[in-house]
A and B are shown apart, each in its own frame.
Chain A
Amino acid sequence: MKWLSDLFDSFRPQFEKRGNLAFLKPLYEAIEFIFFYPPARTATAPHVRDPLDIKRYMSIVIVALLPSICASIWFFGPRILLMILVSYAVGGLVEVIFACVRKTEIHEGFFVTGILFPLILPPATPLWVVAVGIFVGVFFGKEVFGGTGHNIFNPALVGRLFITISFPTILTSGWTAPGAWRGAVDAVSSATPMALAKTQGVLTPATDLLLGIPSGSVGETFRIGIIVGGIFLMLTRVSNWRVPVSYLVSVCVFAFVAGLFGWAPATAEGGASAFSFALFNLLGGSVLFGAMFMACCPVTSCYTLPGKYIFGIGCGVLTVLIRVFSGYVEGVMFSIVIMNSFAPLIDHVVLQMRYRSVETQGN
């Protein structure tokens, strides 16, 4: 966080009374407020140098998501704004009701769930499905476990999973082609890269994937923006780098292994090379989005450092397994939810192994 604070301090003179951008001072202060409020620091021991509370934590995640959100609106049109609005309205209602009944504060964690959820849906998802999904996600995924910080599974993924199983036809047919709403491309809908790879053995080129030319879930298409946002999250240490990095590396490694064994889909030229299959698996589908914004969720992933590596590798292995062998074209959502359920067990085993000697001495 220090570098971010230094960055703000270096810009500050520009916005002071004699600075070039003095008229923009309210804007500067608003942005600083998002990042650094509350500013309280303790003067005496114990020293709290940087009071990073839930509100700041969550606003930084939303800032990191901004490239994806803006790109999705550019690709899929103002409809995305409606989806986000529905998600916030319905999920917020559930949150407010629970906060009132439990007499607790409304936690800012919901603002991240509410924006993540529409970003992992197909662009043409009907609004009522969005409402059902976010309701189940917030209600069954979070609140019944006791609210923010007590949930076992990522709430947005719980909602996505519920509607995926409930409405399979809607969730597999809503792939609008990016740019179709403003007439940039002729096709109205197109198959996702993962589906193309599975059914026809065609691997979409990496540059297309990075720029977001093929179709996909709302927030996952513009991959450069996801990478930038994810690295920003890691640098500000809001997300722990161990989970996303081990996730992505293991996806690469295991897709490479799968390619070597000849499990990669055959292309017209007679089989994709293991390397291109690994690269495609790293960039295609929602692996990047899942790794950067969902797997590293501090509540539902492992707390211990070795556990974080195990968590990431488990996600990677499961993702490749589901992609290669199952009937589903994409395995990111399933793999993260499955690993979520194992996270407490992994933590328990890690603690047992690491502190076994301490325990026996204590006894």
Chain B
Amino acid sequence: MNLKETFGKKGAKTIKNGIWREHPISSATLGICSALAISNKVENAIAMSAGVIFVLILTAVIISLLRKIIPSRVRIIIYMITIASGVTIVDLVLKAYWPTVSEAMGPYVPLIITNCIIMGRAEAFFVQNPPKLALIDALANGLAYTYTLMAIAIFREIFAFGTLLGVRVTPSGWVDWVVLAAPAGAFFVLGVFLWITRTAAGIEPPKSS
């Protein structure tokens, strides 16, 4: 599949930026809080990523459709209302259909509102671009968030619980690494992940003065 043919020149660039060059977590260091807190089990990571992607898409479409009529002085409030509506939908759906997952994720579902990726993309991209591009951008960023969470969650679940999606994958003598189950342990994993992806993508750290 050729990206340029399918999505046009701008669309292809948006995808590349979202997934790799301007990766929301490793390049912009946004959404760190949920990446640390929710990545202890793959199951939670999937639910979290799905929620974030849904809210991203909803926000992208609504904000970019309204971008010509949103007064710039109250734009942040408009983003908040849009994001909050999306999050409420996700929260209620989870509570109705997957109560156990909703329980496990606790306050982190409502906290998607404060996920900086959504707010950041709304301000930086959705409000300046037509719906089609905004949708592509939302998908690319959601995908980047998802694979980051997955990578961290797979590593953490195997080491901290000896399981993968609840299925035991480690030999019988396995000793759980308790520290990786706690958010503190996620700093080690996320740190190494950022290091690898930043080096691979050639992202320079900001110059300290």
Contact = CB atoms under 8 A, between A and B. Distances in A.
B63 interface: no
Interface string B180-209: 101000001001000100000000000000
B177 A167 contact: yes
Contact of A170 (B175, B179, B182): B175
Query: Chain B binding site: helix, strand, loop or mixed by DSSP?
Result: helix
A167 B188 contact: no
A261 B182 CA distance: 36
Interface string B149-184: 000000000000000000000000001011110100
A166 B177 contact: yes
Contact of A167 (B175, B182, B191, B195): B175
Contacts of B180: 166
A181 interface: no
A166 B178 contact: yes
B95 to A, nearest CB: 34
B173 to A, nearest CB: 10
Nearest to A140: B188
Contacts of B178: 165-168
A74 interface: no
Contacts of A168: 178
Max chain B C-beta neighbours (<10 A), residue from A136, A162, A166, A170: A166
Contacts of A169: 175
B160 to A, nearest CB: 9
18 contacts: A136-B188, A140-B188, A144-B191, A144-B195, A162-B179, A165-B178, A165-B179, A165-B182, A166-B177, A166-B178, A166-B179, A166-B180, A167-B175, A167-B177, A167-B178, A168-B178, A169-B175, A170-B175
Interface of A: 136, 140, 144, 162, 165-170
Contacts of B177: 166-167
Contacts of A136: 188
Max chain B C-beta neighbours (<10 A), residue from A140, A144, A165, A170: A165
A293 to B, nearest CB: 25
A165 B179 CA distance: 6
A170 B179 CA distance: 14
10 closest cross-chain pairs (CB), A and B: A166-B179, A165-B179, A166-B177, A166-B178, A167-B175, A140-B188, A162-B179, A165-B178, A168-B178, A170-B175
Contacts of A144: 191, 195
Nearest to A128: B175
Contacts of B175: 167, 169-170
A136 B180 CA distance: 13
Contacts of A166: 177-180
A165 B184 CA distance: 11
A166 to B, nearest CB: 4
B1 to A, nearest CB: 36
Contacts of A165: 178-179, 182
A172 to B, nearest CB: 12
Contacts of B182: 165
A169 B195 CA distance: 32
A167 B175 CA distance: 7
A162 B185 CA distance: 9
A140 B188 CA distance: 8
Contacts of B188: 136, 140
Interface in B67-102: none
A140 B192 CA distance: 10
Contacts of A170: 175
A162 B182 CA distance: 12
Max chain A C-beta neighbours (<10 A), residue from B177, B191, B195: B177
A169 B174 CA distance: 13
Nearest to A165: B179
A346 to B, nearest CB: 22
Nearest to B177: A166
A174 to B, nearest CB: 13
Nearest to A129: B175
Contacts of B195: 144
A69 B38 CA distance: 44
Nearest to A132: B177
Nearest to B178: A166
Nearest to B181: A166
Nearest to B175: A167
A165 B180 CA distance: 9
